[in-house]
Amino acid sequence: MSIVDVKQIVENKKVKLKREILDLRDKGIVPKLAVILANDSDASRVYVGRKRKLCHELGIEETEYLFDEKVTTDNILKVITKLNNDPEVDGILVQLPLFKHLDESRIIDSIVPEKDVDGFSAINVGRLYQGKDEIVPCTPKGVLTILKELEPELKGKNAVVVGRSQIVGKPMAALLLNENMTVTICHSATTNLPEHTRTADVLVVATGIPHLIKENMVKEGAIVIDVGMTRVKEKLVGDVDTENVEKVAKYVTPVPGGVGLTTVYSLAENVVEIAKNRKK
Ligand code: GUN
């Protein structure tokens, strides 16, 4: 029934975050993010460019460490050790995926948990499952921000997450569980997907399969969050057939101009939360 104005939600939140950054800077703390990019895909460059641009706009310092395919796991581990020990660096972000020859989990787990701004390291994943949402992965965190704007009472409602990636599906499910929702995770081996999706008061879809979710798979009045973003003939297409799903859902997030905006915003929020701990 209504396409969510995610841009407006983010713009409103940015005002408050900017103020918090100004307060920190007044106290001599300049929040700082280090970004490691070791992948030559255009999409990764675009995502990193957006993250850096928002940091710049908000007053967060950022530095990029750009590597070509000759880089080794050890080269990156050395840079991370230096950043781990630099008191002026708050957050360290390793853009995924990495070049295939690199050891992704060794690299991610070498970031000290306090600076793991994406919340991807084993320690932070474990903390999320313990219900201590300290540093939460940016995409699920952004989805929760949108949900809280749309629905004040998530507790007790049915959430269905379609997709079980480390970056979105699994942490999303943990986060919704921490909100006391009843959570179902569906994935590529789920039989009869529509039977599950039709139970969802909140449906979060992160599969990368364009227009997977059709009108007959959605409960009347549901909130549908589309995390998918696939380039089809030069157009960005989500996982939800929005034009038709809109007829039954209460809210649907758009693609583009939806969850992508809150992901980038949540990263800035995470950097600021870490920088606040510097004071202590
Ligand atoms: N690749 C796709 N999404 C993300 C993300 O949220 N963080 C990082 N580091 N890499 C990604």
Reported as a single tens digit per residue, the pLDDT across 141-160 is: 999 999 999 999 999 999 99
Between CA 216 and CA 141 the distance in angstroms is 28
**pLDDT for res 279:** 59
Between CA 138 and CA 25 the distance in angstroms is 23
Q: Could you tell me if residue 280 is inside a domain?
A: no
Q: Are residues 194 and 238 located together in one domain of the fold? A: yes
Q: Could you tell me if residue 143 is inside a domain?
A: yes
5 carries an active-site annotation:
no
**pLDDT for res 113:** 97
Query: CA–CA distance from 140 to each of 193, 204, 205, 212 (Å)?
Result: 21, 9, 11, 20
Phi, psi of 165 (to 5 degrees): -70, 160
Q: Are residues 144 and 247 located together in one domain of the fold? A: yes
Between CA 236 and CA 68 the distance in angstroms is 27
Task: Domain of residue 188: give its range.
Answer: 138-260
Contact 18, 59 (CB under 8 A): yes
Q: Are residues 109 and 154 located together in one domain of the fold? A: no
Q: Could you tell me if residue 62 is inside a domain?
A: yes
Q: Could you tell me if residue 277 is inside a domain?
A: no
Contact 259, 167 (CB under 8 A): no
**pLDDT for res 263:** 98
Identify the CATH number of the domain in which residue 238 sits.
3.40.50.720
Closest-lying ligand 1 atom to the alpha carbon of residue 267: 6
Domain boundary among 114, 130, 163: 114
Q: Are residues 93 and 154 located together in one domain of the fold? A: no
**pLDDT for res 254:** 98
Q: Which amino acid is at 139?
A: T
Which residue carries 């507790």 as its tokens? Answer: 155
Q: Are residues 91 and 167 located together in one domain of the fold? A: no
Q: Could you tell me if residue 100 is inside a domain?
A: yes
**pLDDT for res 216:** 98
pLDDT tens digits, one per residue of 240-259: 999 999 999 999 999 999 99
51 carries an active-site annotation:
yes
Q: Could you tell me if residue 274 is inside a domain?
A: no
The kind and range of the H/E element at 242 are: helix 242-245
Q: Could you tell me if residue 265 is inside a domain?
A: no
Contact 37, 45 (CB under 8 A): yes
Residues of the chain with pLDDT under 70: 1, 279-280
Q: Are residues 76 and 162 located together in one domain of the fold? A: no
* Domain count within the chain: 2
- Which residue spans within 21-97 are E strands per DSSP? 32-37, 61-66, 91-94
Q: Are residues 191 and 238 located together in one domain of the fold? A: yes
Q: Could you tell me if residue 266 is inside a domain?
A: no
Catalytic residue among 95, 115, 201, 241: 95
Between CA 243 and CA 251 the distance in angstroms is 12
CB of 121 closer than 6 A to ligand 1?
no
Q: Are residues 103 and 149 located together in one domain of the fold? A: no
222-260 exposure pattern, b = at least 16 Cβ within 10 A, e = fewer: bbbbbbbbeeeeeeebbbbbbeebbebbbbbbbbeebbb
Q: Are residues 80 and 188 located together in one domain of the fold? A: no
Q: Is the peptide bond before 256 cis (omega within 30 degrees of 0)?
A: yes
Closest-lying ligand 1 atom to the alpha carbon of residue 139: 6
Identify the CATH number of the domain in which residue 83 sits.
3.40.50.10860
Between CA 238 and CA 227 the distance in angstroms is 7
Domain boundary among 114, 149, 177: 114
Between CA 65 and CA 128 the distance in angstroms is 28
Residue of the nearest CA to atom 4 in ligand 1? 96
